[in-house]
């Protein structure tokens, strides 16, 4: 298991902010749950609205690209750009701050280290 730290989160937010600072997004949307953390931080960093749903011409973020199921829903929004902190696949149409091995389990700073094992088991069971 790979336990990420808040300083790494801050570095990711800074990197995405630098890439997006001159773009005219109407706001930022983050997929619940992990994407919300990034979206709030980026909303403050970029001075743009936090959106309650993904829209055209928006910055869309999530904590991780794992199977692609979540992000495929918004792939074709016009004028939007998608960023993730961690990607388990080589990015093609989305942007990733960090790329990791497919089988590596991530524990984000906002997650409970004591429940990481059961969280992982529940996740994989839901995918069967």
- How far, in Å, CA of 89 to CA of 102, rounded? 7
Q: What is the pLDDT, as a whole number, of residue 121?
A: 77
* 32 upstream amide cis, omega within 30 of 0: no
Domains of the chain in sequence order: 2-127 (3.40.50.2020)
For residues 51 and 27, the answer to whether their CB atoms sit within 8 Å is yes
Give the residue from 114, 118, 108, 76 showing the smallest Cα distance to 94: 76
pLDDT digits over 17-53, tens only? 999 999 999 999 999 988 999 999 999 999 999 999 9
The residue ranking higher by pLDDT, 127 or 90, is: 90
- Give yes or no for residue 9 having a pLDDT over 90: yes
Instruction: Give the pLDDT confidence score for residue 54 in this predicted structure.
Output: 97
Q: In the prediction, which pLDDT does 128 show?
A: 63
58-109 pLDDT, tens digit per residue, is 999 999 999 888 999 999 999 999 999 999 999 999 999 999 988 888 889 9
pLDDT given at position 112: 81
**Separation CA 62–CA 54 (nearest Å):** 12
């Amino acid at each position: 298991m790979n336990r990420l730290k808040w300083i790494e989160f801050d570095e990711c937010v800074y990197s995405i902010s630098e890439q997006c600072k001159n773009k005219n997004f109407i706001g930022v949307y983050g997929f619940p749950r992990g994407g919300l953390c990034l979206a709030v931080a980026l909303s403050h960093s970029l001075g743009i609205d936090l959106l309650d749903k993904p829209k055209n011409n928006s910055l869309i973020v999530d904590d991780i690209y794992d199977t692609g199921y979540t992000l495929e829903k918004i792939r074709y929004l016009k004028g939007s750009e998608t960023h993730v902190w961690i990607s388990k696949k080589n990015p093609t149409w989305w942007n990733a701050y960090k790329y990791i091995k497919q089988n590596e389990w991530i524990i984000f700073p906002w997650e409970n280290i004591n429940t990481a094992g059961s969280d992982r088991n529940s996740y994989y069971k839901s995918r069967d």
